[in-house]
Structure 1
């Protein structure tokens, strides 16, 4: 074990055994806490980020998505235990955090709003840790708003696509499966021929050839899934018309 790692563990153990209480020394909660402290100390001692004490690391990870000006974050981090941090120290630690698994760079679309919240809170004298908490809440709200907007845009896009398909079908052009208004059945046109498919209570799909929407149609087959019906339709749609 490297001397710095050995020293870190020994310091924790010496502090632990100073307790005059055997009950405390044998307490499972105290032992688990000591184990966590040892693991954290080993991680710090072996880390390439030598300047980053636990408090600094916690703040950096919390601030990483928040668009806090680097100089301001640097100034605050330098009030915490550890060697002086340069602007490059902070920039590169943040970059390393952003590139960790399950972590992403700050969202560009949130930058303006985050800076507005930050400056407003700073002007009121709010402490940095509280500002970070406020920014985290702001980001959560904004991400929820963006998700809702994206879902609404997707719904509009799907409806626009449905209307386009419906119009193609009604105009007599070939098109993929679509609902006509709020029909339970789906309609499509292949090779100039119109078809209807509908799912029954048994979850199977029944395919019909139709001449118009109100037409009951000619039964072509019943299929376990839409994929099976589509495979059959590839042949049916281009087969010679039956002689009447």
Structure 2
């Protein structure tokens, strides 16, 4: 028998060792056996022939650690299995990251992880321990990175809002913009100013106004469910003969 047949034979032999015929015939027990057989065959049928056992476990743990590939390859080749090439390593890493979504290295942590790695390597720490430390470090830094990205996003959004506000107030055409301190939105298209006022039911009243002024009582154009709906009307209203009705 080949390796796959031997695996199925072993599972069947273990199953029929049960002294209870009731257990052997039990549908739930048979279902569990079927799943065990399929799992074993899927594992044995993997196209990644060099990545059985500890190698895959080590690599999966090291994906987000920024360990130099040369050093990682040297360690993996010290484990049981056929010799690995750099291509074997790079393509297996790519598969685990892009196909199986096991983990992925965070670019902003590369320099920090490499500093830790070289320090631990110089101290004589073995690779599994270094991987464990780096993995824990990478996980601990996610809150810091998340907060930094959130603050950077908020800064970009605020800068974009200020740029739109300046454009609007300098009489340039501008998409819907909320002037700081105002609860209304304004847009300018074809030199004409439109105002949106929110309603309690989350709909919007749109007005044609002459200036960006919350106190101006403009001419009501209509009531819309969203700014997107209002945009469709603005696209036409901005080019209708004045006054627009």
TM-score normalised by length of structure 2? 0.76
SS at match of 2:4: helix
Q: What is the match of residue 119 of structure 2? A: 120
Partners of 2:71 and 2:83 in 1: how far apart? 12
**Is structure 2 residue 81 aligned with structure 1 residue 83?**
yes
SS at match of 1:184: coil
CA deviation map 1:175-219 (0-9, x unaligned): 221111221101122232222111111222111222331322222
Structure 1, unpaired ranges of 5+: none
What RMSD in Å do the two structures reach over aligned CA positions? Answer: 3.5
Q: Which moved more, 1:62-71 or 1:195-204?
A: 62-71
Partners of 1:202 and 1:18 in 2: how far apart? 67
Structure 2, unpaired ranges of 5+: none
Deviation of the 1:116 alpha carbon: 1.6
Distance 1:74 1:238, change over 3 A: closer
Partners of 2:16 and 2:243 in 1: how far apart? 97
Q: What is the match of residue 94 of structure 1? A: 93
Partners of 1:3 and 1:172 in 2: how far apart? 80
Deviation of the 1:110 alpha carbon: 3.1
Partners of 1:99 and 1:169 in 2: how far apart? 44
Distance 1:143 1:123, change over 3 A: same
Query: Any conservation in 1 of the 2:50–2:84 contact (CA below 8 Å)?
Result: no
Q: Which moved more, 1:4-13 or 1:57-66?
A: 4-13
Off by >6 Å, runs of 4+ in structure 1: 30-37
Deviation of the 1:52 alpha carbon: 2.8
Query: Any conservation in 2 of the 1:74–1:85 contact (CA below 8 Å)?
Result: no
Partners of 1:57 and 1:8 in 2: how far apart? 21
Q: Which moved more, 1:40-49 or 1:154-163?
A: 40-49
SS at match of 2:188: strand
Deviation of the 1:108 alpha carbon: 4.1
Within a 5 Å distance, the mapping from 1:1-244 to structure 2 comes to 3-11=2-10, 16=14, 38-39=37-38, 41-80=40-79, 82-88=80-86, 89-102=88-101, 106-212=105-211, 213=213, 214-242=215-243
Deviation of the 1:174 alpha carbon: 2.3
Query: Any conservation in 1 of the 2:209–2:216 contact (CA below 8 Å)?
Result: yes
Q: Which moved more, 1:200-209 or 1:45-54?
A: 45-54
